[in-house]
Chains A and B, each alone.
Chain A
Amino acid sequence: MRGLLEALLDWLDERLDLRHWLDVAKKKQVPVHPGSVFYYAGGVCVFLFMVQLVTGILLLMYYRVGADSSYESVRYISSKVAFGWLVRSVHSWGANLMIFFVFVHMFSVFFMRAFRKPRELTWMSGCVLLGVSLAFGFSGYLLPWNELAYFATKVGTDIIGQVPLAGHWLLRLVRGGEDVTGATLSRFFGLHVAVLPAVLSLTMGAHLGFVQLQGMAHEKEAKATMPFFPNFMLRDVMLWLVVINAVAVLAVFFPWDVGKKADALASAPAGIKPEWYFLAQYQFLKLLPARILLIPGELWGVLTLNAVGLFWLLTPFWEAALPESKKDAAVRLAGWGSVALLVAMTLWGALS
């Protein structure tokens, strides 16, 4: 067996200079310090994206987009297709865990100040990846065309209509008309299975490329390091296995419900709320009064959320502009403030 693997490696090495790349990986060092455990979050995000890709392709084999076929095909997948329930539940739970780990990865990078020069582009491409992951969640949520998905999309896209000047035009563009209909479903499907995977793959490629080119932050000042390959890589794989096991447990004990078919004429179910990753924003918008200084409260909310997003995206630049003595305090304040606010607003949204 070992001989066969060596022969295969030799064959590939002759053609692709594989051993050179393995040497590069072996030379790559990962800093070892109390916060090193957070380095694995990025790897888990990549792994879960792969899981999403594979399960998404499997779902595509049976999913039929359309107001009169989406719900039925998802119901068919969940009840008739062999292991269809597993694939669908793994896709749904995987999506939620992926977004969770993207947040963990982002905050760990923030608190380790790994966004500082020369890693501004790595940080910014990471922010784009967060945005694309959320767009994946939002667009995928509608695809089963059930009651909850329908109303969540209706409320979510209503917010787009609040954008000044272009709001109504954007709303029509996203929905494919005035209301959430089969046209919206087709658009979200196209976005979910073609546009977003392409954007995420390219951005992730660039993001990983930047990491490889620039190496890990704090590598030089770290007291100890470990080789990326195989030491770090094997630990990564261990965590991936634990994560996929956790996803399987969730899929078996909490399979994703198909719900009731979307009905535009029905009233919205009582207590309807968005997915947990939009709850904080939703709660914030809910708190705003109808009008502030004659301008609709929701518009203020949308502008504020966009401003906060831009502020977060430009972290490497505003942090660099601060006096050296205030940098650490500012990062701690912004970081812990954001975590506390997100957790508090999410819990408030969930419990109210």
Chain B
Amino acid sequence: MKRALALSLVLPLAAAGRAVFAKDQCVACHASLEGKHKAILRSFETDIHRESGLSCASCHGGDPSKADAAQAMSPEAGFTPAPSPADIPAFCGKCHSDPGTMKKYNPSLPVDQAVKYFTSVHGQRLKKGDDKVATCVSCHTTHAIRPSKDPLSSVYPKNIPQTCGKCHSDPKRMAPYKIPSDQAAKYVRSVHGRALLERGDTAAPVCNTCHGNHGAAPPGVESIGRICGMCHSQNEQFFLSSPMAKPWKSRKYHICATCHTEHGIQHPTPELLSPDKGLCSRCHKPSSEPIRDAAAMRDKLVQMEGAYQSAKSAIFIAEEKGMDMSEARDLWDGSRMSFYQSRTAVHAFRPAKVAEIADKGIEAAQKAKKAADDAVEEFRFRRIGLGVASLLITFLVLAIYLKVRDIESRPS
């Protein structure tokens, strides 16, 4: 029913778009041209604007009913040629900054993109006359614009590293701005990049998640914790309540990136807290109290991980034997929760806090392992029981067989 309703709304719109496009003299003329003039038509075929019934004249003005190019593209007919980079935000903003127009096509789309854009580094530089910076079309393309939920869109999460990387991975292009060009390469190998690009988890953060999209800017010292905290809220809370928060602020350290880096964030291991190879030793002296605390937290995490992994293997072995491990799995799920919580609690930099959470998880993991080991033992008992029962049954079958032979050997 819902599908029928949606189709009944969309189909006439699309059909109308196609009909208009078919009679459009812009199309007729560009189709007869070669090179980029013709390519525009091909790319516009899948453009969201065309799907919504818009045509060339909707953006560029002019008179699409006139076959004569001079008349159709005359200033009198309101024709606007391809805008310069400086004019692009206003050009797109004619519709995208107008709530009245956007309501007709996509009421859920925000109308503050142009305003946000001019707060971004790109927008600020554009205002100052730098026309090499990204504008709307740099990310969304010019005539092949697709909605961000379309996997073929240049702004679909999985395509964003490549889209941003078009400029930001080009060392020549970035040189005048004195910013590195290895962010996309680092991101692809990071825990977030692998989640998005290898596992296809579109909830994983990508460039615009942290930097913003239209208001793109590098997060400052104050805001980076807030940005990471959008997803890692507990880590942020623990850190802000920790004894590290104050010195971090006074020294203007990035609260997350100082230890975890920005673009190449790797999966954290307990070794980050190692007294000799860990991150803490960068600032703290060996055998100082913070290093001892770090070592205590590392040891607890290693113990937790060991108990958790050992329970996991034991459950796997028991399940392979066909044993019901649902209860052990519930316990193991609890230990897994503690495993993640104890890693999060490290950001409080209080060994007692980590131990409090990890000990609960270790206990649950040990119980799960015991349940799994008991199940394997039970399986052995079952096999022995089956062996004894099978022997008894075989003996009985033999006895009956001999009885039958005895009966049948007697003269009737």
**Min distance, Cβ A230 to any Cβ of chain B, angstroms:** 6
Q: Are the C-beta atoms of A248 and B400 separated by less than 8 Å?
A: no
Query: Given A241-B396, A241-B397 in contact, is the A255-B389 Cβ separation under 8 Å?
Result: no
- Taking residues whose C-beta sits less than 8 angstroms from the other chain, chain B's interface range is 20 to 34
Contact B393 A241 (CB under 8 A): yes
Q: Indicate if the CB atoms of B324 and A257 lie closer than 8 Å.
A: yes
Q: Which residues of A contact B396 (CB under 8 A)?
A: 241
Task: Considering the complex, give the chain B residue whose CB is closest to the CB of A75.
Answer: B326
Please tell me if the beta carbons of A252 and B326 are within 8 angstroms of each other in the complex. Answer: no
The verdict on A253 contacting B322 (CB below 8 Å), with A238-B400, A238-B401, A242-B397 known, is: yes
User: Chain B's nearest CB lies how many Å from the CB of A65?
Assistant: 20
Known A248-B390, A249-B386, A252-B382; contact A230-B324, beta-carbon cutoff 8 A? no
Which residues from A are CB-within-8-Å of B326?
75, 79, 258
A234 CB contact (under 8 Å) in B383, B385, B390, B400: B400
Contact A231 B404 (CB under 8 A): yes
- B324 and A258 contacting across the interface, CB-CB below 8 Å: yes
> Which of B324, B386, B407 sits near A248, CB closer than 8 Å?
B386
Which of B383, B393, B401 contacts A252 (CB under 8 A)?
Answer: B383
Tell me how far the C-beta of A160 lies from the nearest C-beta in chain B, rounded to whole angstroms.
25
Where chain A touches its partner, the secondary structure class is helix
Tell me if B408 is interfacial: C-beta within 8 Å of chain A: yes
Residue from B322, B383, B393 within 8 A of A245 (CB atoms): B393
A234 to B407, CA, bound (A): 10
**Chain B: interface secondary structure?**
helix
Minimal Cβ-Cβ distance residue in A for B401:
A238
> For chain A residues 237-259, which have a beta carbon within 8 Å of chain B?
237-238, 241-242, 244-245, 248-249, 252-255, 257-258
Closest residue of B by beta carbon distance from A259: B326
Interface residues of A in 249-297 (CB under 8 A from B): 249, 252-255, 257-258
Interface membership of A85, Cβ < 8 A: yes
A-B pairs with the 4 shortest C-beta distances? A252-B386, A245-B393, A255-B322, A78-B324
User: Which B residues form the contact surface with A (CB < 8 A)?
Assistant: 322-324, 326-327, 382-383, 385-386, 389-390, 393-394, 396-397, 400-401, 403-404, 407-408
30 contacting pairs across A/B (C-beta < 8 A): A75-B324, A75-B327, A78-B324, A79-B324, A79-B326, A85-B324, A86-B382, A230-B404, A230-B407, A234-B403, A235-B404, A237-B400, A238-B397, A238-B401, A238-B404, A241-B396, A242-B393, A242-B397, A245-B389, A245-B390, A245-B393, A245-B394, A248-B386, A252-B382, A252-B386, A253-B322, A255-B323, A255-B324, A257-B322, A258-B324
